């Protein structure tokens, strides 16, 4: 069974601060997807990373896929209250269709 561990589970910061969320596993994934979810809504895709060592930037968000494709990180620069939400990482394994999700990181950015 593939597991994804996300850390931290909860994060409360002030507007303007930087933060990093980690997603770790002992399993190799063919790709890894990051989602942001708001209460009562479905997960919204932020990015897909496919190649080991890949770095993708989405405005103030930087995503990195580990060289061995077992881990990933999400870094947010100068966080804003609008970044508040549940950040989920999800790995696609050998089946290439079944996503394994972490439990998520609940981020609160205070004005």
Partner 1 sequence: DTGVSQDPRHKITKRGQNVTFRCDPISEHNRLYWYRQTLGQGPEFLTYFQNEAQLEKSRLLSDRFSAERPKGSFSTLEIQRTEQGDSAMYLCASSLSGVNGNTIYFGEGSWLTVV
**Site residues for partner 1 per CB under 8 A:** 30-31, 33, 35, 40-45, 48-50, 88, 90, 92, 95-104
Least Å distance between CB 105 and partner 1? 11
Coil, strand, or helix at residue 91? strand
Burial bucket for residue 109 (CB in 10 Å: 0-12, 13-18, 19+):
buried
Least Å distance between CB 111 and partner 1? 26
The smaller minimum CB distance to partner 1, of residues 40 and 111, is found at 40
φ, ψ of residue 97 in degrees (nearest 5): -140, -15
């Amino acid at each position: 069974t593939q597991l994804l561990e996300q850390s931290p589970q909860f994060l409360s910061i002030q507007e303007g601060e930087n933060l990093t969320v980690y997603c770790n596993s002992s399993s190799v994934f063919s790709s890894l997807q990051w989602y942001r979810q708001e209460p009562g809504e479905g997960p919204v895709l932020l990015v897909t990373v496919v190649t080991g060592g890949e770095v993708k930037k989405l405005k103030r968000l930087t995503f990195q896929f580990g060289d061995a494709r077992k881990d990933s990180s999400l870094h947010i620069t100068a966080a804003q209250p609008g970044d508040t939400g549940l950040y989920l990482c999800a790995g696609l394994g050998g089946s290439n269709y079944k996503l394994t999700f972490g439990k998520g990181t609940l981020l609160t950015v205070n004005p």
